């Protein structure tokens, strides 16, 4: 079976990069098929923090009003603790402007909104519950994808936005250099929300552990427990209640009480191995990789969702004029390489920051323990303006500017 429609672009993966890019392409009149292996988005997502670096592009492309209807929690500050004692409290947005406040967002709701917006255009085709099995190739050029339920879908360009375990990347033969970070992260979503968490994200450092606690839009908390790589086996033997009790021993009294009092019968801890990688090339003739398919981001630091959106906007800036002009395959490859060139500096900088920070925080050396004790006494929970601090500003706003050029 071969689909009757012959889109200009096939995107594999309706995650943030794929959904945003599909919307921008079809809005500009580029015939696009979006292939998503799941029937819906009602599954658990872990990285759901949108920084101003991800919010600003959504505003630029005209989706702000739609975005504000998506389930989310506005984050006004981070609270950082060392050995359960307050260290500093970076205030994200002293001026209270909407675009400057990070949001802990429901990613399923966000993706459904993007797909719904794209579906308003006749140039859009969504293939839900469809897996890409292989790439179609002709004379060394990728010319489409082979799927399990819709046969062959041919296109001028195939874009892999199918995440860290990308089938498109695997079938393309493009190699990735991985940096296996010395940590794993255990995620739990609990049906409780301490008052101190309502509009803030807590980070707890010390004793060789790093814990993140963030509010969810439905009145719960998302807990990320960063541990030394390979140490989950002993934690799993504790059971869910025992794991929650262990996590509670690393957080402040208010949060610990809420965690220990929460109903954990239906809580399922999820282990995510942290890895950062980047392919040796984002493209080959007829093919482009974006998001985690091109550069897997560590979930530590909350940057993956933002980077994916920024990748998509930059890609659309380059691809829309090229596809409208029916650029040939060789010229299209040059366009894809220009996308990689524009995005690579930011990706590499953030990957480096994501690796180095947790490595220091997880250290149990005598020197680091002494340093933690000193800086905690200096900080004592004081407020700081995050936007005026170079390190925090980079985390919030990104490394390089991303500006939407419009549909024209």
* Least confident span in 4-18, 110-124, 358-372, 387-401: 358-372
Asked if 186 and 229 count as a contact pair (C-beta separation under 8 A), the reply is no
48 has pLDDT over 60: yes
Band of pLDDT at residue 5, cut at 50, 70 and 90:
very low
Which residues, in sequence order, are CB contacts of 244 under 8 Å at separation 6+? 188, 190, 259, 260, 262, 264, 267
358 has pLDDT over 70: no
- Confidence (pLDDT) at 390: 73
Q: What is the rounded distance in angstroms from the CA atom of residue 320 to the CA atom of residue 408? A: 9
| Local structure of residue 10 (DSSP, 8 states) | E
311 against 298, higher pLDDT: 311
Percent of the chain with pLDDT strictly greater than 90: 59
387 against 200, higher pLDDT: 200
- Confidence (pLDDT) at 369: 58
Stated as kind and residue range, the H or E segment containing 152 is strand 152-154
- Confidence (pLDDT) at 290: 98
Band of pLDDT at residue 361, cut at 50, 70 and 90:
low
Q: What is the rounded distance in angstroms from the CA atom of residue 355 to the CA atom of residue 396? A: 17
Residue with tokens 């990070």: 102
pLDDT in tens, 205-216: 887 788 999 999
Its sign, for the CA torsion 155, 157, 163, 165, is: positive
Q: What is the mean pLDDT of residues 301-321?
A: 94
Q: What is the rounded distance in angstroms from the CA atom of residue 139 to the CA atom of residue 144? A: 13
E strand spans, 207-289: 209-215, 221-228, 270-279, 283-284, 287-289
* Domains observed in the chain: 9-44+105-178+275-359 (3.50.50.60), 179-273 (3.30.9.10)
Which neighbouring-strand residues pair with 49? 104
Q: Could you give the angle at the alpha carbon of 297 between the alpha carbons of 8 and 102, nearest 5°?
A: 95
Most confident range (mean pLDDT) of 33-42, 266-275, 283-292, 393-402 is 283-292
- State the greatest distance between any 2 C-alpha atoms of the chain, in Å, as a whole number: 68
* Least confident span in 93-107, 222-236, 341-355: 93-107
- Confidence (pLDDT) at 44: 63
- Confidence (pLDDT) at 380: 62
Tokens encoding 59: 């505003």
134 has pLDDT over 80: yes
pLDDT in tens, 162-186: 999 999 999 999 999 887 777 888 9
Closest-CA residue to 329 (of 181, 137, 104): 137
Asked if 209 and 226 count as a contact pair (C-beta separation under 8 A), the reply is yes
- Confidence (pLDDT) at 46: 59
DSSP annotation string for 294-319:
TSPPPSTTS-HHHHHHHHHHHHHHHH
Residues in the chain: 408
39 has pLDDT over 70: yes
Q: What is the rounded distance in angstroms from the CA atom of residue 20 to the CA atom of residue 404? A: 12
pLDDT in tens, 78-103: 898 988 888 888 887 666 677 888 99
Q: What are phi and psi of 405, to 5 degrees?
A: -90, -5
Q: What is the mean pLDDT of residues 6-22?
A: 92
- Confidence (pLDDT) at 393: 77
Question: Alpha carbon of 11 to those of 91, 140, 286: distances in Å?
Answer: 38, 19, 12
What is the pTM assigned to this prediction? 0.92
């Amino acid at each position: 079976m071969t689909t009757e429609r012959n889109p200009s672009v096939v995107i594999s993966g309706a995650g943030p990069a794929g959904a945003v890019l599909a919307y921008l392409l079809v809005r500009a009149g580029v015939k696009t098929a979006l292939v998503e292996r799941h029937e819906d988005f009602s599954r658990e997502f872990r990285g759901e923090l949108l920084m101003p670096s991800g919010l600003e592009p959504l505003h630029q492309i005209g989706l702000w009003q739609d975005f504000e209807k998506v389930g989310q929690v506005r984050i006004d500050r981070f609270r950082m603790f060392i050995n359960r004692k307050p260290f500093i409290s970076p205030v994200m947005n002293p001026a209270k402007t909407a675009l400057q406040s990070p949001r802990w967002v429901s990613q399923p709701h966000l993706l459904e909104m993007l797909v719904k917006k794209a579906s308003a255009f006749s140039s859009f085709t969504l293939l839900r519950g469809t897996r890409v099995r292989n790439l179609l190739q002709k004379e060394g050029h990728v010319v489409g994808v082979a799927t399990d339920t819709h046969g062959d879908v041919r296109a001028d360009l195939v874009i892999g936005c199918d995440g860290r375990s990308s089938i498109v990347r695997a079938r393309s033969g493009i190699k990735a250099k991985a940096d296996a970070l010395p940590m794993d992260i255990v995620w739990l979503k609990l049906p409780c929300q301490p008052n101190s968490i309502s509009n803030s994200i807590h980070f707890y450092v010390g004793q060789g552990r790093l814990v993140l606690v963030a509010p969810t839009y439905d009145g719960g908390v998302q807990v990320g427990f960063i541990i030394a790589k390979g140490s989950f086996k002993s934690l799993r033997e504790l059971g869910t209640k025992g794991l929650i009790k262990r996590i509670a021993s690393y957080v402040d009294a208010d949060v610990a009480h809420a965690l220990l009092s929460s109903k954990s019968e239906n809580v399922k801890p999820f282990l995510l191995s942290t890895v950062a990688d980047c392919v040796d090339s984002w493209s080959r003739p007829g093919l482009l990789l974006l998001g985690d398919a091109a550069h897997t981001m560590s979930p530590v630091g909350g940057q993956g969702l933002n980077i994916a959106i920024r990748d998509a906007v930059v890609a659309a800036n380059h691809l829309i004029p090229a596809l409208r002009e029916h650029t040939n395959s060789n010229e299209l490859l040059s366009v894809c390489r220009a996308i990689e060139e524009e995005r690579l500096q930011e990706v590499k900088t953030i990957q480096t920051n994501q690796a180095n920070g947790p490595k220091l925080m997880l250290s149990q050396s005598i020197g680091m323990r002494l340093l933690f004790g000193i800086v905690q006494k200096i900080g004592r929970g004081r407020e700081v303006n995050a936007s005026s601090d170079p390190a925090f500003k980079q985390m919030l706003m990104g490394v390089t500017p991303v500006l939407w050029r419009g549909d024209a």
